[in-house]
Amino acid sequence: MKTAKIFSYCFLTLAMVCLSACESTWQTIVGEYSFKVSGQVTKDATQVYSLPNEIGAMEVIHLQDSTYLLTFNTINGEAYTTKATWSNNQLELYPFSRVVTITYQSQNSDIWGDIIEFTETEEYQTDVYGYGNVYGETIEFKMQYSGTELGGNKQIKGNNITMLAKKN
């Protein structure tokens, strides 16, 4: 009888430690963040462009078990969501799709040979993949972009895109 009581207390203590460890993980991640995205994409495997400054707010909500919902609201009004799974001390993003705008300077010559400079803006339907490492109140996402121009056939790829999110 005494051994059963000791075993029950040990089991209950172990269960409480495991529960509090799991709870502290999701409680640490859940919340509101400010984020900034930086990186470069390559267009048609030849031209490299820096992504425009993208900043905004991100909210992380715990759904169940190790699954989270991430909602991104950019300062220019765009919103997109994805889910993520917590495993091996990382948030593994579910692949999601969004529109990425690339703006760059271009030039051409007119019929008299004068150089005309102008700004090009292109939009790409982009698939996003990646993961996030949590460092205290900061999440560093490493992402990959792969997109096709809206209404065109140009392609972009980016393998080293970083989003830093700091808890508010």
> Which residue is listed with tokens 């425009």?
52
pLDDT of residue 100: 94
**Over the chain, what is the mean pLDDT?**
86
> Which residue is listed with tokens 């995205």?
37
Q: Angle CA(106)–CA(110)–CA(111) in degrees, nearest 5?
A: 155
Residue 129 reports pLDDT greater than 60: yes
Does the domain made of 31-167 have the CATH classification 2.60.40?
Answer: no
Give this prediction's pTM: 0.78
Give the model confidence (pLDDT) of 112-123 as tens digits.
878 888 888 999
Residue 73 reports pLDDT greater than 50: yes
pLDDT of residue 104: 86
> Residue 26: CB partners within 8 Å, gap ≥ 6?
62, 68, 86
pLDDT of residue 65: 92
Interval 100-112 mean pLDDT: 83
Query: Where are the chain's structural domains?
Result: 31-167
